[in-house]
Chains A and B, each alone.
Chain A
Amino acid sequence: MDSILLNIENVSKNFDENQVLKNVSVNVYEGENLVVFGRSGTGKSVLLKLIVKLLEPNSGNIFYRNKNLNSLSAKEIAQIRKQIGFLFQSGALYDSMSVRENLSFPLKKIFNLSEKEIIEKINKTLELVGLVSAIDKMPAELSGGMRKRIALARTIITEPEIILYDEPTTGLDPITSKEISELILSLQHQLKMTSVVVTHDLICAEIIADRVIFLKDGEIYKEGLFDEIKQSNDLFIRNFFSAKILKDVGESDV
């Protein structure tokens, strides 16, 4: 592992009376794939949104390359966001724009590129996700798997240092889920990006994870390599894994 890219220090987050995260501390190292596991409602997505300042923590600090996000101006935050890609659970493609416009949008906002350079970059990125043919389609014309791929393309097109994935395989069939997970891993190798992946999907985690943290009731319950966590004797984790496997087998039978 290399140097620390992201340092989350004693972060807590409440929504009214409900405390979602309690003193969470975790480091993300440059070049690693960190998977965040946990049941629904344990604050996994909230943790990602805190990193990009879509939400503010009630206490604690988040450092990006040793810069405390709490003490930065809006302009400096905007600069840091350019280094962070975020793949939303729903894809969050802009409905009113075609695939081409969705991909060119962040490029036009961040870089000073000519039209020719933008087109070249769009074609190259669509080739990486295997969807060059969808360039002039509207998001409504795409299947769930295609939407994820295009959303992934929009996230990587600006070549961020780190990508935060919020449930990248949710709502997809097992085969497409596996394809998306393999695509994420292959892009990570090709583009040398750091990843933080929030997921319930064991197959996705097994393919992607260098390291896993397990959240329970807003706290870090367990941390380690995927195989260590999977083979843990802890009753809660064993139940989580066995319940997920049964659910996944059930879903694939249907």
Chain B
Amino acid sequence: MNLPKIKYSLNLSLTEKLLNFFLLLSGLAIFTIHFFKEMLVPPYEIEETKKQMYDFGLKSLPIVGTMGIIIGFVLALQSYFILEPFGATDFIPASVGISILREFAPILTALLFAGRVSSGIGAEIGSMKVTEQIDAMEVSGTNPFKFLVVTRVIATTFILPLLTIYVIFISLLGSFLALLIEEQMSLVYFFNSVTSYLDLSDISAGLIKTFFFGFIVGIVGAFQGYTTEGGTVGVGRSTTTSVVISSLFILFVDMILVKVSMML
């Protein structure tokens, strides 16, 4: 796999910055194609993939859970203050539920996951690269791309949808708590109100895109780590760039997928 070399310097002209951007995109495309080639060919590093899924999933639960309960609570509260003067508070559970399912839970979980996991993958693989640990793996007869990249990208792709489902439930709990405090709404009423307005397309529209987001988090972090150069400064750059690029890609892909889902 021959990846284009990106020139890093403090004094780059606008043309060089643009060129770097296109080099990054082409490098990422080559890296992604190589990922699919390696993923399909045995041996499969199943144990390492399970370990990474466990790590990414379990360790992200507290932070995404905290975010979920706050988002649910705030959304319900904001809606309450808007709809309460019109006497339309009955619609809050459904509107909040749809917002959480279709957009808030998938996108916010993905962005938080990118901040935590994509940077972690970039830093880990990057420091392994500059300290010759990847070379050591290669000369010991192990394919480092399979062991480090394929395992992590598969893990992020499949763990993010599970985390999103968890966040959906936690956010709905947060919304219920807000409405319980403001409106003394019962759990049964809240549950019936949410489920009566939701259909399968709300659930699928939210969850399908999380597979794409999970893939972006993994592949961008791994790409940045694998192409790290320049010692510890390079590792720092890879860590930061992983978060920035994966977050931007997540937002961009979200925009496209929302548009596509509306056309279907």
Interface residues of A (CB under 8 A from B): 49, 52, 54, 78-79, 81-82, 84, 86, 88-90, 92-96, 105-106, 109-110, 158
Contacts and interface: CB of A to CB of B under 8 A. Distances in A.
Nearest to A87: B136
A109 B141 contact: yes
A96 B124 contact: yes
B133 A158 contact: no
B138 interface: yes
A94 B144 CA distance: 12
Contacts of B140: 81-82, 105-106, 109-110, 158
Contacts of B135: 49, 54, 86, 88, 92
B131 A92 contact: yes
A78 B141 contact: yes
Contact of A86 (B124, B128, B136, B142): B136
B37 to A, nearest CB: 12
B124 A81 contact: no
Contacts of A96: 124
Given A81-B139, A96-B124, A106-B140, 5 more contacts: A78-B141, A82-B140, A92-B131, A92-B135, A95-B131
B127 A90 contact: no
A234 to B, nearest CB: 34
A106 B131 CA distance: 18
The dominant DSSP class at the B interface is: helix
Give the size range of B's interface with the partner. 10 to 19
B132 interface: yes
A54 B138 contact: yes
A99 to B, nearest CB: 15
Contacts of B143: 78
A110 B141 contact: yes
A86 B139 contact: yes
A18 to B, nearest CB: 15
Nearest to A79: B141
Contact of A90 (B124, B132, B137, B141): B132
In order of increasing CB-CB distance, the 9 nearest A-B pairs are A92-B136, A92-B132, A106-B140, A86-B139, A82-B141, A52-B139, A109-B142, A88-B132, A81-B141
Contacts of A94: 128, 133, 136-137
A27 B214 CA distance: 51
A49 B132 CA distance: 11
A88 B124 contact: no
B73 to A, nearest CB: 37
Contacts of A79: 141
B141 A88 contact: no
Contacts of A78: 141, 143
Nearest to B140: A106
A79 B143 CA distance: 12
A192 B142 CA distance: 25
Given A92-B133, A95-B127, A84 B142 contact: no
A54 B139 CA distance: 8
B142 A90 contact: no
A89 to B, nearest CB: 8
A84 B141 CA distance: 9
Contacts of A92: 131-133, 135-136
Interface in B138-170: 138-143
Contact of B133 (A54, A86, A89, A95): A95
Given A95-B127, A96-B124, A106 B133 contact: no
A84 B135 CA distance: 13
Interface in B107-145: 124, 127-128, 131-133, 135-143
15 contacts: A52-B139, A54-B135, A79-B141, A81-B140, A81-B141, A84-B139, A88-B136, A89-B132, A90-B132, A92-B131, A93-B133, A94-B133, A95-B128, A109-B140, A109-B141
A106 B140 CA distance: 6
A78 B141 CA distance: 5
- Tell me which of B124, B136, B137 has the highest count of chain A C-beta atoms within 10 A of its own C-beta: B136
Contacts of A84: 139
Contacts of B138: 54, 81
A96 B148 CA distance: 12
A109 to B, nearest CB: 5
